[in-house]
Structure 1
């Protein structure tokens, strides 16, 4: 058998194998709620979401103003971008992370979150 035919069979089998892995194992991961986070931004946000989440008094006051909701905070904690150049500042409550997100009205917000080993605390919420 010529090389080009063997190579075509190889690629066909590889495509079937990749399809199997992505389709079946991906569906299994979605059913169990498993996330695959490899980048630093995703890993840090996932770490903060996995801990008990608390709100400081200034964050509660900002939430009571009404321009930002808990759903906006949750979405920013899932899809937001961490500014690592301003983050990882040690404090008494853990390391401080600056997260840039958006509200449901597409307004840019900045969350300041203190991440300790046992809990994550939302310190401040600001408009950008």
Structure 2
């Protein structure tokens, strides 16, 4: 009797999990619960500007705005090197992951804009 109940439970949970994942995939829902993920998402959705210094680095190196966008999707935010509580514009130090780990960004995030202040390539 107990084995049947466990079997029915597992079948129901499996069907429910498949249905929920199918619905969420169609909605393109994201679950940004971590501090890094929330910070990167708020920077990505704001209008993006580049400082003169960052523009010079982009022009003189092999990176482009697509690389910057990739870093802003998958990166580490070092809150100790930035000033996340600064008003009116918080500042963040962002380092790329994997093959982009040698690129670091210093980003200033205001209410409606995000400015890439500095790009460092090691």
TM-score between both structures, scaled by the size of structure 1: 0.84
Q: For 1:47, which of 25, 42, 63 is the aligned residue?
A: 42
Spell out, residue by residue over 1:71-112, the C-alpha distance to the aligned partner (whole angstroms, 9 max, x if none).
Answer: 111101111111122223566761110000169x65611100
- In the other structure, the counterpart of 1:9 is 8
Q: Runs (4+) of structure 1 moved beyond 4 Å?
A: 89-93
Structure 2's unaligned 5+ residue stretches are: none
- In the other structure, the counterpart of 2:78 is 83
- 1:117 equivalent in alignment to 2:115: no
Deviation at 1:8, TM superposition (A): 1.3
Structure 1's unaligned 5+ residue stretches are: none
Q: CA 1:83–1:106 in 2, change beyond 3 Å: closer, same or farther?
A: closer
RMSD across aligned positions (CA): 2.1
Spell out, residue by residue over 1:36-90, the C-alpha distance to the aligned partner (whole angstroms, 9 max, x if none).
Answer: 2111111111101111111100001111103321111110111111112222356
- In the other structure, the counterpart of 1:38 is 33
- 1:26 equivalent in alignment to 2:24: yes
Q: CA 1:18–1:29 in 2, change beyond 3 Å: closer, same or farther?
A: same
Query: How many aligned residue pairs are there?
Result: 122
Native 8 Å contact 1:100 1:111 kept in 2: yes
TM-score between both structures, scaled by the size of structure 2: 0.88
